Amino acid sequence: MKEFINEFKHLEKLCNDMYGQPHGVTLYINEMEAASHEAGGIAGWSDDFRKLKRLRHIRNNLVHDPEYEPDYDVEDIEYLKDFYQRIIDQQDPLSLLQAKRMSRNKQLKLDLANGSRGRGRRKKSTLSVILTVVFIICVIVIGVVAVVLIRNPIGF
């Protein structure tokens, strides 16, 4: 039990430092939950989310319920150690999500700079159509005015 608590405390301290406030593992879990709609393509996201919630629940019961029968095993302790290291190595779910966001933002900036982003092209296309229509209307108006002036010259 002591080893589980110590490993959880170790992870908790790291997460507290990351967030600059207590209850870091809970904050990490909450951030995962809030960003779950962006988690597509991040391997193990759901497994990590469920496991962190379960291990937090075990930790809370161990600390607050004297009659609680521990239901963790050596693999859970190893998971806590591994997850800690994954955060350090920036291979944890939220680090991978941040890298995905940065990559997407970088690509958007490149697309906008190159003018090849779908939305940007659509706006240019719409602007081109509007300008073309305005130009055609102006040409027609000038043509009509010219015909009227030729048929009915105004004396100056």
Regarding whether 77 and 143 lie in a shared domain, the answer is no
Regarding whether 51 and 122 lie in a shared domain, the answer is no
Rounded to whole angstroms, how far apart are CA atoms 28 and 39? 14
Rounded to whole angstroms, how far apart are CA atoms 47 and 61? 21
Longest Cα–Cα distance in the chain:
109
Regarding whether 84 and 125 lie in a shared domain, the answer is no
Mean pLDDT of 109-125: 64
Q: How confident is the model at residue 156 (pLDDT cuts 50, 70, 90)?
A: low
pLDDT of 106 over the 60 cut: yes
Q: Is the model more confident about 109 or about 24?
A: 24
Tokens for 137?
Answer: 């209307």
Rounded to whole angstroms, how far apart are CA atoms 50 and 46? 6
- Is residue 78 assigned to a domain? yes
Q: Indicate whether this model's pTM tops 0.85.
A: no
pLDDT reported for residue 114 = 79
Q: How confident is the model at residue 99 (pLDDT cuts 50, 70, 90)?
A: very high
Domain that holds residue 122: 116-151
- Is residue 144 assigned to a domain? yes
Mean pLDDT of 111-131: 69
Helix or strand (DSSP H, E) at 92: none
- Is residue 156 assigned to a domain? no
- Radius of gyration in angstroms for the set of CA atoms belonging to the chain, rounded to a whole number: 31
Tokens for 50?
Answer: 């469920």
Mean pLDDT of 133-137: 92
23 phi and psi angles, rounded to 5 deg: 65, 40
Rounded to whole angstroms, how far apart are CA atoms 23 and 31? 12
- Taking only the tens place, the pLDDT of each residue in 46-81 is 999 999 999 999 999 999 999 999 889 999 999 999
Regarding whether 95 and 50 lie in a shared domain, the answer is yes
Regarding whether 86 and 52 lie in a shared domain, the answer is yes
Rounded to whole angstroms, how far apart are CA atoms 148 and 15? 80
Cβ atoms of residues 7 and 80 within 8 Å: yes
- Is residue 66 assigned to a domain? yes
Mean pLDDT of the chain: 90
Regarding whether 122 and 107 lie in a shared domain, the answer is no
